[in-house]
Structure 1
Amino acid sequence: MYEHLIVKEQDRWVEVHLNRPQVRHALSRALMREITTVARALSDRTDIDVVILTGDTRCFSAGADLNDAQAWADDSLSTVQRRDIAGTGFRMCKAWEEMPQITIAAIEGYAVGGGLALSLACDWRVLAQDAFVSLPEIALGIPLTWGTIPRLVNLLGPAKAKRLTILCERVPAPEALSLGLVDYTCDKGQALFRAQALAAQTLAQPAATVRMSKESVNAAATALNHASSYMAHDQIALAASSPESRAARGQALR
């Protein structure tokens, strides 16, 4: 059913494995569309109460596929086409954020850029002790979009959100935990097992009440998110077309 995902269904929970290992699970448009599709399909399932999202033992995701990303600034495309392309990640993250089930990202190795952005759309993040996270978008000449900035502000507050967004620092697991960027750390190779244990804890609770509680928390936390991120499609298209942005991405692709 999916070209770039492996979906494993258990009793009342599902694992979604990113499956582009040859490019470190880089988020191509094709993969992002599949991630969006599986989120929307699972959202309609009343027999599934937890969804775990993961990569493999090497990494979660290297972020947006920069080869695909060149389309953001492709002058041969119409503005409507470029906006649609630029909005792919936003729609993907929103689909995961809006899932009624509890969602858990299990991260080994690293979650970089769009990979971390996707994990932030989940309810909880488990990070292996030797892993790291980072948001290098500005160093690539593009703003951090996909609705990630309001999620960071909700989690960390404005100062730390600016630090992670603007300085493009590599954040190791212990610091990510202390900042509140992830919720749990674990031994190397154990992220999926820790996520499964969290799934079991969640499944022990009354399912309807869990869903109601998640909906209430999200309603309070995300009330202004759209107002602060709806222009992201246009920001990324504008920034991506600048000479400095093209040069930064060119360096990264070498």
Structure 2
Amino acid sequence: MADTVQLDVEDDVATVTVDRPDSLNALNVETLEALDDAIEEAEDADARALVLTGAGEKAFVAGADISYMAEMDVQEAEEYADLGHSVANAIESFPAPAIACINGYAFGGGMELALACDLRVASERAVLGQTEIDLGIIPGWGATQRLPRLVDDETARRLVYFGDRLDATDAHEEGLVGEVLAHDELREYVDELAAELAAQPATALQAAKEAINQSHETTLEAGLDFERRTWAGLFGSHDQREGMAAFLEDRDPKFE
């Protein structure tokens, strides 16, 4: 894994940090590949929560590497898009909740990685935007599909068509982020949130994530059937037995 990405696993929480603060954590090929590797390592470590953030005080991820993209042809662009999609899909399919700790600028591909997370928590200093239209292109790492699923259709279209940049308060009002924190409180809060998720029953939490993700990919009827089968499949697991026994015995559960 390149030194442009740092992975820390502690108490079942994996924190992946894009570490290019001098470039506002922009994503070049090396960094994208390192992100892919870090997420795979976090999964291999059986992390029960994943936190994605950026190094420094200014940026989460300010976007893709424009200097690299400027001279790409169609085939090179497709390969670059494939790499961005690989990282975003790895976050979305990670077998535990992923939290975007948005500590600053989140533009273009950076916002797309945040969209792939389950939860988004932003610093009051954060600014978000799908700014690709200013470069004569469109989002290429998932925003045209994930953004309308998160906010209403017209809001998504406006954000993509105009490339508007939203401060943290406006992003919260539009539903792009779930919470906004004072900048110096953000990391501690996200760490506490991740620890709380890591303490949840992992099998049930993974099943919940898979079921919710399924709602974006299929019909309501098929999604309900998936939920029913997934719910039933948890019965007989240690965490189901322990959780219900603890409730009936009026004590705290001890999940695996």
TM class by shorter chain equals 0.7 to 0.9
Q: Which residue of 1 aligns with 2:223?
A: none
**3-state SS of the aligned residue for 1:180?**
coil
Shift of 1:81: 4.5
> % of aligned pairs identical?
31
Give 1:80-119 correspondences, 5 Å limit.
80-119=75-114
Q: For 2:70 and 2:146, locate their aligned partners in 1 and report how far apart those are by CA, in whole Å.
A: 26
Deviations 1:188-226 (A, max 9, x none): 1322222111112212321111111011101112449xx
Q: Which residue of 2 aligns with 1:9?
A: 9
Q: For 2:64 and 2:77, locate their aligned partners in 1 and report how far apart those are by CA, in whole Å.
A: 16
Deviations 1:1-48 (A, max 9, x none): 4321111110111111111112111000110111112222323443x1
Which residues of structure 2 form unaligned runs of 5+? 220-256
Shift of 1:141: 0.3
Tell me the TM-score normalised to structure 2 length.
0.80
The answer to whether the 8 A contact 1:13-1:50 is kept is yes
**3-state SS of the aligned residue for 1:72?**
coil
**3-state SS of the aligned residue for 2:121?**
strand
The answer to whether the 8 A contact 1:61-1:112 is kept is yes
Deviations 1:147-180 (A, max 9, x none): 2111111100211110111111110111111111
Give 1:203-242 correspondences, 5 Å limit.
203-223=198-218
The answer to whether the 8 A contact 2:91-2:116 is kept is yes
Amino acid across the alignment from 1:214: K
Change (3 A) 1:82 1:154: closer
Give the greater-gyration-radius structure (CA). Answer: 2
Amino acid across the alignment from 2:7: V
Q: Which residue of 2 aligns with 1:149?
A: 144
Tell which has more relative contact order, 1 or 2 (C-alpha 8 A, sep 6+).
1
Q: Which residue of 2 aligns with 1:186?
A: 181
Tell me the TM-score normalised to structure 1 length.
0.81
The answer to whether the 8 A contact 1:72-1:86 is kept is no
Which residues of structure 1 form unaligned runs of 5+? 74-78, 225-254
Give 1:103-142 correspondences, 5 Å limit.
103-142=98-137
Superposition CA RMSD, Å: 1.6
